[in-house]
Structure formats: structure tokens, C-alpha cells
Amino acid sequence: MTNRQAWFLTGTDTEIGKTFITCALLHAARAAGRSALGMKPVAAGAEDVDGVLINEDAARLLAAGSFDPGLQWLNPYCLTQPVAPHIAAAAEGVSIDPSHILKAFRLLQTQADVVIVEGVGGFRVPLDDDYDTADLAVDLGLPVILVVGMRLGCINHALLTVEAIKARGLRLAGWIANCITPDMPRLDENIAALQQRISAPLLGVVPYVPGNDPSLAAQRLQLPED
């Protein structure tokens, strides 16, 4: 009997290192001898490479995973414009179907011991007029990993996101402090304040290192326990 695990990874905002941390967690799983895949259900911002739309984040997840499951499953919806997904989808005449995302996720889960589904932007990003990434997390039914981009204002953003996760009836499996600036004042005190207020384990602190390799960052992280 296999011990398969999956998590939904979200962040306090956009540009706080969700993809980097997802890749690092994939490396951590692989270092522990487990097969691992990342999934980016919806990506906005892509380039045409030999007739195929490729999103940079999806490509990074593909490179960090144990094998290539096919970009059409790893990244079911790849939108060209680097704007909010519901705006890009409307402009490109694309209808985002949650059932297609769930189908792709279930396929990946049959192939790997660990699957990490990376959201878009923060926790509540619209995918159409009445469905957002929080709804997707609920439909997936996965425990959540929260990436906190350590910068001024992160305590408020983190605590509001934790409240939103709990309000949807989801379990916060843990959080990660990702240092996205080289000189955040009172970094240790900010991390301590979050530890005091978030009733989920701190899975690791990733320091700011320009051009950091996710396989090295993996050494500072742990996967959530069941």
C-alpha cells in the first residue's frame, strides 16, 4: 500500500516565491526517496515555444519533479497574458473548468507519491466570475501549505490568509518563512510573532540568497506530517 500525499500550496501575495518553495519541497521529497510532482493548474503569462505555450513557473515545476507527466496535465490552463487569470482567460476566450483541473490532479496523484498543487497569487484569486483559487482548494480537498513572503506587512497578510483558509474548512498543514528581501528589519521577531499566532508548524525558514538553488533550499525545509 503506497503512502501518497498531496498539498495545496498558497502564498500571502504574488511574487513571494511560491514556485521556488514548491520546487524546494519537491526536491525534499525526492531526497527522501519519494517520487514527486508539482502542478500549476492555472498559469498566466507564457511564451510560444515551437507552437506550445510554456509558462516559466510550470517549466520550473517540471524540471524539479521526478519525471515529465506531460505539461497538459501539470499545467492544464496556460494563459498568454501575465495578468489576473480571470482577465487573461476572458481576453483569450478560455473557460476554466474546475472538473478538468480535478481530473488532471487525480491523474498526477496516481503517478507520484507526492503532489504539490501551486495556486496563483494569493489564496483568493478569481478564476472566473464566481470561482476562485480558494474554491479550487476546497474542491481538491487538500491540506494547505502557506508561504509567507517575509517583508514589511507580512504579519497582517499571513494572519488574514490563515483566517481565510480556516473559514473554508481547510486544514493548514504548515507554513514557510521565505526571505524575499536581503535586509528585512527585525526578521527574527517577525517570525516569532507569526509562530505565536499561527497554530500550525513552521516547516522551515529559507534565507535570502540571490539565484538560490531550490535543491539547496530543500535542506532547510521539511514536508508536513500527516
Contact 146, 10 (CB under 8 A): yes
d(CA 176, CA 154): 12
Strand locations in the chain (E): 5-11, 36-39, 42-44, 47-49, 52-54, 77-79, 114-118, 126-128, 131-132, 144-150, 172-179, 202-206
Catalytic position from the list 18, 40, 103, 166: 40
Contact 85, 14 (CB under 8 A): no
Helix (H) / strand (E) element for 192: namely helix 187-197
Q: Is position 40 annotated as part of the catalytic site?
A: yes
Which residues are annotated as catalytic? 40
